[in-house]
Structure 1
Amino acid sequence: MGFTVIEDEEERDGKQVIRRRIIRTDDPQFPSGYRYALHYGYTDDRGTILRYDNENETPNRHERHTSADIQEIEFPGMLKLRDRSLDEIKDLP
């Protein structure tokens, strides 16, 4: 199985962190062709503010995590999801 790292970035501001990890893969566990985690949260026990990912045990399941819940989402494509994540982060504390 092959893979290519498309983006692997981390930005920190005090205890807040934004991490973007996007990997293009032909692994059948990720039928979309991507394994990704787009995370905005804290480095301490306050945890996640917002995260999109598909790194779980259910193939082709895409999720939106907040501090309150986890929702399954439709995958709109990697660039659209990345942009959506960055747009949402702009409006969060």
Structure 2
Amino acid sequence: TRAVPLLESLSVEHVVADKSYDGDRVLERIHAQGSQAVIPPQINRKVQRPYDRELYRERNRIARLKQCRRIVTRNDKTARNFLDFLHLAASMILFA
């Protein structure tokens, strides 16, 4: 899988991903680096392993921010303007 080489340079506490990354090789690599995998198991797994459901739900907030094209493409010229728009978009999502 292409995900395994991407994980080599990663040093984080949690790796949050969707069900498509629920492969044994990916999970082994994540655990070998000392990170916790927050990946829901696929339905066809014989043994359903536990995962942090609350932390996985937080993933949705980032996905909602990616709906704003201005954030994804980073069209703002200064970091301050980008951060200001990021705060505005986050507020709109929070109060929607």
TM-score scaled to structure 1, two decimals? 0.28
Structure with more helix by fraction? 2
Structure with more strand by fraction? 1
TM-score scaled to structure 2, two decimals? 0.28
